[in-house]
Structure 1
Amino acid sequence: MNPSVSPANSNAGETRTLPVIFSGKKGEYLKIWLVNMLLSILTLGIYSAWAKVRNTQYLYGHTQIEGHRLQFLATPLQILRGRIMAVIVFGLYVIISSLHPIANLVLMLLLLVALPWLLIQGLRFTLRMTAYRNVRFSFDANYGGVLLHFIVLPALGALTFGLAMPWVIQRLQKYIHDSVSFGGHNFTLNSSAGYYYKAILVCIGLAILYFIGLGIFGSGVITAISAGNPAALGGMVIIIASYFIFGYVVAAVYQSMIRNHVMNNLSIDGVASFNSSVEVKPYIWLMLSNSLLLIFTLGLAYPVTQIRKNAFLAEATLVNLQPAADHLVNTVDDKYSAFGEEAAGLFDADLSLT
């Protein structure tokens, strides 16, 4: 559990350590999500812009620090206009690319060139529509930087047969966070590539232990099958289930290690720093149980899994606010189109900052 704010930390002029509180309710959000999905279907997707705003405002509005809630300021019409523009562009892309193989190749190259711009616009819109204490976030990356970190470095990492990918991921995440600002103050992420390699090595170690155990157990199952033992069927079920569980174990270990490392080394210049204490075992159970909920409800439990994950991560997060946080003013206007974000989603180039 997160500690409450002590009186000493609440005095003006001092840095105060505060919990992130998430108060969303599974039943409430499930009703909102289901109604939004039904109306989106009945209106052939038109209502989805309103659905996105309602869903996001609920999640943001139930996330608070020191009594101040996060705000999502985008309007449904703003998002709807962006989606209409994106659909038109996508439709033209499909029609023109089907006319001739050369046209398809040219458009694919143009899309590759546009990809960094789409990623920038998507993150910029999302962050500019997010506010805390009426102060908006911003994303100030440039085309060259995004091209380098999202396309060039991953390509180079692939050429090393994956050996450089932990370093590539570290550089990518650092670039994203360092490009975010709040009230004119830049985020800074002092992460270490060595820690990313450490997380990968831990996962590799777990994989080695798992496959050694699987080999020993599997040989026994094969022997039982050869002997015609009906108990071998139970062994096969165990092996299949172990694959499923092991995937979530490795993912939870890696994600919890990286999340803690990133948050514990993230700060806003002169404004705030962060602490994360995600524990591996509870996080494994969260991921595993959420996946089972999705499977057995055919995806209808998705809003429930969102509430569970948001509550879990909020409980594991602390924010250290410095006195300057009380004197920030907004430096971002709201004159920004949602086209980039929706286009990024249509072309499978969407990116979220979490």
Structure 2
Amino acid sequence: MTEPTTSTASAISQMLNSKTVPVHFSGKKMEYLKLWLINLLLSIITLGIYSAWAKVRNTQYLYGHTQIDGHRFSFLAKPLQILIGRILAVVIFAVYAVISGLNPLLSLLCTLLLLAATPWLINASLRFSMRNTSYRNVRFSFKGSYGGAFVTFLLLPILGAITAWLAMPWVLKKMHQYLYRNIRYGGRPVQLSTSTSYYYKASIIALIIAAVILGAGYLFIEASNLIYQLQNGRWSLPALMPMFLAFYLITFNLVAGLFYALMFNHLTNAMKIDQIASLRARLSIPAYCWLNLSNSLLLIFTIGLAFPITQIRKNALLANATEVTLQPGIEQLINTEQDDGKAFGEEAAGVFDIDLSLT
């Protein structure tokens, strides 16, 4: 009988000693709403100064209520470093706005400088967020390069546009690969094996659903208009405007929810850290579509004050749909990253409306 090779034996050992556990989110809607509203009030009273502390407290709440195998995530950023970064970002934005308004040539120059700075801002923002996130006392990190971000977020979208958006699913795949493959946990890289065909399939499904809903909405509105004309002898745009807006809201949220759910499942199932962990997601598409639509309605009818409730609802649904297989190698990981205290990149990215989410 042939003896197993060392690599095979190691793989078998990893499999036998691994364990699959759910992601548990314990945040409560009213508890987080109270914290968020207090932080908002203090930020207003202090003319925005407290907003740095508010950001840390809000993020620590969400991270601290997310557990895997009994271990909570931690957000380690310090409010003062965020405040300093935010002040620098606002000052630079004010200078940018003033110079841009002087004459068209200077405005063009400032725009080109902002475009040139965009890859750095993206990397700096992600580097700060990852470095200040830890699990089991081991920090994450982000190792993206300026050239990689420049190609991925500036050049590839141009390719998508000049191909009449036909290349955009592939461009989105490249963006996801750049974002996730540059993440490290304890120095170990995240591996992501995504499929180009899946991105096209998800895009086609989303387009078909959008066409069906909009088509049905158009027919319904035309029928309603015809009935109204027969009864009143005239066509009434004001009566139909709420229907147009309602169908747009429903279509946008259902299609966006569908596409997000498809991408979440695909990305999560394609992600692992070799000998450390792998992930599995079974996010229900109807459940997430309803969450997306109902969260939008909550935000509309509460003028945005329900935002913390929508965060809790989303985090809970995503956590319940996700499980993690932990391997013995996670026990041997040590922290390889230290806090560099630089929050300017993340705050500048926010001020200049350059924001990327990993979820």
Residue 329 of structure 1 deviates from its aligned partner by 0.2
In 2, Cα distance between equivalents of 1:57 and 1:126:
12
Task: State how 1:187-226 maps to structure 2 within 5 Å.
Answer: 187-226=190-229
- Seen in structure 2, the aligned counterparts of structure 1 residues 238 and 115 have a Cα distance that, compared at 3 Å, is closer
Give the TM-score taking structure 2 as reference length.
Answer: 0.91
SS in structure 2 opposite 1:251?
helix
Match of 1:287 among 268, 289, 292: 292
Which of residues 271, 279, 296 in structure 2 aligns to 1:266?
271
Trace 1:43-122 onto structure 2 (pairs within 5 A): 43-122=46-125
Q: Distance in 1 between matches of 2:333 and 2:304?
A: 41
Q: For the residues of structure 2 that align with 1:190 and 1:143, how far apart are their CA atoms? A: 23
CA distance in 1, matches of 2:155, 2:22: 38
Question: Which amino acid in the other structure matches residue 327 of structure 1?
Answer: Q
Superimposed CA distance per residue, residues 255-284 of structure 1 (whole angstroms, 9 cap, x where no aligned partner): 111110000001112211111111111112
What is the aligned partner in structure 2 of residue 7 from structure 1?
Answer: none
Q: Does 1:151 pair with 2:177?
A: no
State the aligned residue count: 343
| Aligned-pair identity (%) | 52
Q: Compute the TM-score of the two structures, normalised by the length of structure 1.
A: 0.92
2:286 alignment partner AA: K
Task: Return the letter of the residue paired with 1:184.
Answer: G
Aligned counterpart for 1:251 among listed residues 256, 264, 271? 256
1:326 deviation in Å?
Answer: 1.2
CA RMSD of superposed structures (Å): 2.0
Q: Distance in 1 between matches of 2:52 and 2:73?
A: 20
Alpha carbons 2:225, 2:240 under 8 Å: kept: no
2:305 match: 300
Task: Check if 1:319 corresponds to 2:324.
Answer: yes
- Offset of 1:247 from its aligned partner? 1.8
Provide the residue aligned with 1:180 in structure 2.
183
User: 2:340 and 2:228 mapped to 1: Cα distance?
Assistant: 67
**Aligned match of 1:5:** none
* Matching residue of 1:131: 134
SS at match of 1:228: helix
Tell whether 2:30 aligns with 1:34.
no
Could you say if the C-alpha distance between residues 211 and 335 of structure 1 is closer, same or farther in structure 2, counting changes exceeding 3 Å? closer
1:8 is matched with none
Q: Tell me if the contact between 1:127 and 1:139 (Cα under 8 Å) persists in the aligned partners.
A: yes
- 1:3 is aligned to none
Q: Which runs of 5+ in 1 are unaligned?
A: 1-10
1:170–1:21 CA distance, 2 compared to 1 (3 A): same
Contact kept in structure 2, 1:166 and 1:193, CA below 8 Å: yes
Change (3 A) 1:97 1:126: same
Query: 1:327: how far off?
Result: 1.1
Aligned equivalent of 2:25: 22
